[in-house]
Amino acid sequence: MKNIVVIGAGTMGNGIAHTFAQTGFKVNLVDISQEALDRGLKTITTNLDRIITKGNLTEEQKAETLGNITTFTELKDAAGNADLIVEAATENLDLKLKIFKQMDEFAPENCILATNTSSISITKIASVTKRADKVIGMHFMNPVPIMKLVEIIKGYSTSKETFDAVYEMSKNLGKVPVEVNDYPGFVANRILMPMINEAIETLYNGVAGVEEIDTVMKLGMAHPMGPLQLADFIGLDVCLAILNVMYDGFKNPKYAPNPLLVNMVTAGKLGVKSGEGFYDYSESKKAEKVSKMFLK
């Protein structure tokens, strides 16, 4: 596999495109507008400059990486010679099903169709295609160029050939692939999201404040960032979407999203990307200032 298509130039999509391009793959990056594509390329350029500053990349390698990326606003124009398409759109089932129908229509017959979904059933996504054996999950972690893990999720009909090809390709990207079966939340989010939800529950019940909860988990459990800061980093809307998928899939009340999380998303307080969540990011992207809503 040499020709890669990545759908979505947002946080995950541009990170996936960056990773493939830096490893030498030809990448067609697709989004609905040129403005979104330009933002994605700007982010990739900034991240490459950061790697150069650390002495781990040369200017020539940066130029080569950017030269490996071509942008498109139409999937049908990008997918003609694709060996692998990775969908990295918003965590919304209807949107993903729509995109996969288009992927199946426009991609060559032997092309593997992958999704970066963090919780949605691979089997359900594959059901709208005529190549369920070639549909698979590739759940990268954020930030993609740095994080080593990729959850490789087999749908009910995913073939061994498809799994083996994607597993080996992930290793060629410098990642550590882990085989996972197709259940809501997979492994990473099935364990992570209930922890984040419980941290929000702890705040909601007045057990402790935002900084206190995060400090306990950072210093007491050696987590690199606290669960509320991590929720802001992921996006509270994404956390809510994943919890809803798990709650719908398992019908277990332990996965029901806390009302505070629901209200914050409804109010547009989504974390870093909106400028405010549990912390205030109006002056810094670091979690240094607790949102005024949670000040004592």
Catalytic residues: 118, 139, 151, 189
Residue pair 4/88 in contact (Cβ under 8 Å)? The answer is: no
Cα gap 104→97, rounded to integer Å = 11
In DSSP terms, 135 is beta-bridged to 113
Helix H or strand E segment including 70:
strand 69-72
Cα gap 44→155, rounded to integer Å = 31
Angle subtended by helix axes 11-22 and 59-67, to nearest 10: 110
In DSSP terms, 30 is beta-bridged to 7, 72
Q: Which two tokens stand for residue 84?
A: 């692998």
